[in-house]
Structure 1
C-alpha cells in the first residue's frame, strides 16, 4: 500500500508520499492508516518525522486522528482544496472532468473581474510586464514555453489589479492553472490559437477599458473550456469505438 522512501528523506517526503496516495484515491476515504510504529517502519523514517508529517496532513484536512479508532483518511469535502500541495497532488493524478469544470468555474469568477480591475488600476510598469508576457507567448516554440508565458500573463494581470487579496489568489492556484493551461493548449489544433484573445485582453487593459477587458477574458476562458470539452468528447468516441470493435 505505502511505498518505502529513502532514509535520508524527512517529514516533507512523508507528506508528499502520503498526500499523493490520499488525493489520488490509492488510500481511500474512511480507511485507517497503519499504526504509527508500523507506518514509520514501512516508510523508513523516524516516528518523530512521521508525527510531524501527520500534523501537516491533518492541518490540510486529509486525515484525522482519534483515540479509539486511530488515524483515518477523511472525505474530500474536508480537504483544504486551495492548499498548494493538495492542488498539486490533484493535478499530478491528472485532472478529472469534474475537477476541470471546477477550475473553469473558478476562473470565470476571478479572472474577468481581475481583467476589469487591471484596466482601471494598472500602472505603466505593470502594463509593460503584461506585454512582456504576451510577447513571450508569441515567441514560444514549444508547449512548455507557451504554458510558462501564459501563466506569467495571468499572474501579471492579477498583479495589475493592485488588490493584494486578488494577487494572493495566484500563489494559491498557480499549480492548478499551469496544468490547466497546458491541458487547454495541448487540446487545440495550434497551441497559439488563444494568442489573439490574449492580445484583446492586453489592449483593453492598455486602453483602460474595464468592460471590454472583462468580456475578452470571459471569451478566453470559454474558448479554453471548449478546447478541453472537444478533446474529452473525442476521447469518449474513440473509447466507445474501441469497445464496440
Structure 2
C-alpha cells in the first residue's frame, strides 16, 4: 500500500478544470499542439459534428484547417482510433465508429462528452458513475488505509476548509481528496479510476463555480467521510460518501434549474 506521501495530484489548474483551456489529452507522446488538435477533433466527434459512419476530412484538409503537419495529424488519428472513436480502412478512409464502440471510460472521451454538460441526463449519468464507485471506495478505505494515509487525508481536508469560500482554491484539494480515497482502498483497479472521478468532479466545478456561499456547506459532509474512515467505520464511511454525492447532485441540479429559468425569461 502506498504511503501518505504518494499524494494524488490533479492534472490541471482550476482554469483548465472548468474548461477555460482544453483538457490535457492523454495518449500522446508530447503535449502542446498535439493535445490541442486532439481535443479539438475529439470534441467535434463526440458532440456530433460527425455522426457514426461519416468520413473524416482527408489528411491534407485537416492539416490545413489546424495548421499542423501530417505527422502530427497521423498521431492524433492513431490516438482517436485507440479510444474507439474512429477507424481507418483501405479505400474507405477514416470514419466515425458507432457510439456503442466508443470507450466512454477513457478520461478524454468522458471529458469531451461533458464539455458542454447541462442536461438532466448528463447530470444523472455522471452522478450514477460516482455512486457506483466512491461509496464502496470510502468503505474500503475505512478498512484498509494506513494511519499515515488517514493523516494525509485530514491535511487535505484542512486545505479544503481553508479554501471553502474560494471555488478556485477549493477545486484542487477537493480533487486530491476524492482521488486519495480511491487509492486508499489498496486496490489498484479502483485506484486507476481516479481520472474518471476527476472528470465527473470537473464537470460539477464548471457548473457550480458560482454557487452562492461557495463550497462551505459541503465541508461538514467531507469531514464526516474522513471521520468515518479514521474510525474504521466501513458502513458509516459508505453512507457518508453517498450523502456527500447526493448533496453535490442537488447543488448541480439547482444551479441548472436556475440557469434554465433565466434563459426562459430572456435574462
TM bin (shorter chain): 0.7 to 0.9
* 1:44 alignment partner in structure 2: 67
> Aligned pair 1:234/2:232, yes or no?
no
CA distance in 2, matches of 1:206, 1:213: 9
CA distance in 1, matches of 2:198, 2:122: 15
* Alignment root-mean-square deviation, CA: 2.3
**CA offset at residue 41 of structure 1?**
3.3
Change (3 A) 1:198 1:42: closer
- Give the match's secondary structure for 1:194: helix
* Contiguous gaps of at least 5 residues in structure 2: 1-31
1:28-82, CA deviations, whole angstroms, 9 ceiling, x for partnerless residues? Answer: 4433212223333333333333222211111111112233432222333322112
Going by fraction, where is helix more abundant, 1 or 2?
1
* 1:126 alignment partner in structure 2: 149
| Superposition TM-score, scaled by structure 2 size | 0.78
| Greater mean alpha carbon deviation, residues 107-116 or residues 43-52 | 43-52
1:155-194, CA deviations, whole angstroms, 9 ceiling, x for partnerless residues? Answer: 2212221111111110343233233245356445442111
Considering Cα pairs closer than 8 Å and 6+ residues apart, tell me whether 1 or 2 has the greater RCO. 2
**CA offset at residue 236 of structure 1?**
2.8
CA contact (8 A) 1:188 1:227 kept: no
Alignment of 1:63-212 (within 5 A): 63-94=86-117, 96-140=119-163, 141-184=165-208, 186-187=210-211, 189-212=213-236
CA distance in 1, matches of 2:183, 2:95: 40
* 1:20 alignment partner in structure 2: 43
How many residues align? The count is 235
* 2:4 alignment partner in structure 1: none
| Greater mean alpha carbon deviation, residues 183-192 or residues 13-22 | 183-192
CA contact (8 A) 2:139 2:229 kept: yes
- Give the match's secondary structure for 1:193: helix
CA distance in 1, matches of 2:240, 2:198: 21
> Aligned pair 1:213/2:237, yes or no?
yes
- Give the match's secondary structure for 2:216: coil
CA contact (8 A) 1:184 1:225 kept: no
